[in-house]
Structure 1
Amino acid sequence: MSKLEFNIVEIPEGESRRTVALSDEDLDLSPHTFVGGQVEILFYRTLHFIRVNFHVSSDIELTCDRSLEPYIQPIESDYEVVFKVDVKEEKEDENGAVRRFNFSSNSLSIEDEVRDTIFLNVPVKKLHPKFIDDEGKPKDFETKSFGDTEEDDDDSEIVDPRWKKLKELKN
């Protein structure tokens, strides 16, 4: 049984809260490395449904796209899952999900939802914090030149001899 799987009989009627600390072994975020985190869970249980709201605060190790250096990216997100018995079709969007629930199993799991919530908040451009300015925007690349460079102002007049031959053929 994972840390994010709960027995229904242990969830009291009405509103209750739990905090679950996650270690690096509790979630598989391949190809990224899960460093650890915390999930704050708010349960609301009735006879007909169980609503689970959770807030994830976690750290994952990413590789910078610019420098290929590893760095730790903090991730925070909220999500809601409603488990119902009489659901004909499960629904899901960016804010929450409605799942079918079988009370005879006596347990519910939010592990997939927590993992997916973290995945959805991984930045598309993975930049090490040293490449981000105070406003949160990426810093410009520094342009460096190595070796001798010649400054030619006559570049516009130099024409490749192959182009000259092609132009002659056209005429």
Structure 2
Amino acid sequence: MSKLEFNIVEIPDGESRRTVELTDEDLDLSPYTFQGGTVDLLFYRTLHFIRVNFHVDSDVEIVCDRSLKPYIQPIESDYEVVFKVDVQEEKEDENGAIRRFNFSSNTLSIEDEVRDTIFLNVPIKKLHPKFLDEEGRPKEFETKSFGDVKEDTDAEVVDPRWEKLKELKN
């Protein structure tokens, strides 16, 4: 049983809280490397549903797109999952999900939701912190040339075929 899988009978009626510490072996985030983190859970249980709000605070090792060097990216996010008895169709969006109870196992799992929440918060442009300024924006970088650089003298030359086409236009 995963650390993010809970027995339904062990969740008390009403509101309750739990904190789960995750290690690097608890979640598979390939191609990234999960470095561990904390999931703060808020359960709200009634006869008809169980609502699970969670806050993920974790670290993920990713590779910088500019330097190809690995670095640790802190990730923090919130999500909500509602487990209901009478759900005909499961739904989800960027803020939450509605799922069916699994009565056969008498458990509910939020492992997929936690993993997906972390994935969705990995930045699209993965830049090592050394390439960011104090406000988190990318710094300009210089380009270097090696060897002799020839000046572009052909910029002024116009293809004679274009000249002929221009004459036809007039």
Task: Indicate the residue corresponding to 1:56 in structure 2.
Answer: 56
Structure 1 unaligned blocks of 5 or more = none
> Offset at 1:143?
2.2
Aligned to 2:42: 42
- 1:103 Cα deviation (Å)? 3.2
TM-score by length of 2: 0.89
Q: What is the percentage of aligned positions where both structures have the same residue? A: 80
In the alignment, which residue of structure 2 is the partner of 1:77? 77
Partner SS for 2:43: strand
Q: Cα distance, 1:3 vs. partner? A: 0.3
> RMSD in angstroms over aligned alpha carbons?
2.1
Q: What's 1:92 paired with?
A: 92
Q: In 2, Cα distance between the equivalents of 1:113 and 1:156?
A: 56
1:9 aligned counterpart, secondary structure: helix
Q: Distance in 1 between matches of 2:83 and 2:162?
A: 74
1:107-146 map, 5 Å: 107-146=107-146
Query: In 1, Cα distance between the equivalents of 2:26 and 2:150?
Result: 58
Quickly say closer, same or farther: Cα 1:167–1:87, change in 2 above 3 A. closer
Does 2:105 align with 1:105?
yes
SS where residue 9 of structure 2 aligns?
Answer: helix
Q: So what's the TM-score if we normalise by structure 1? A: 0.88
- Give the total of aligned pairs: 166
Q: 1:122 & 1:168 partners in 2: Cα distance? A: 52
Residues 169 and 96 of structure 1, relative CA distance in 2, 3 Å threshold: closer
The Cα of 1:168 is off from its aligned counterpart by: 10
Q: Are 1:17 and 2:17 an aligned pair?
A: yes
| Kept after mapping to 2: 8 A contact 1:85/1:103 | no
For structure 2, the residue ranges without an aligned partner over 5 or more in a row are none
- Larger displacement relative to structure 2 (67-76 or 103-112): 103-112
CA distance in 2, matches of 1:128, 1:121: 16
Q: 1:155 to 1:8 in 2, by over 3 A?
A: same
State the one-letter code of the partner of 2:20.
Answer: V
Q: Distance in 1 between matches of 2:163 and 2:9?
A: 89
Letter in 1 for 2:97: A
- Mapped to 2, the partners of 1:168 and 1:104 lie a distance apart of 79
More helix per residue: 1 or 2?
A: 1
Corresponding residue of 2:67: 67
Query: How far is 1:78 from its partner?
Result: 0.2
| CA shift digits 1:79-103 (9 cap, x unpaired) | 0000000111111010000001133
The one-letter amino acid paired with 2:118 is I
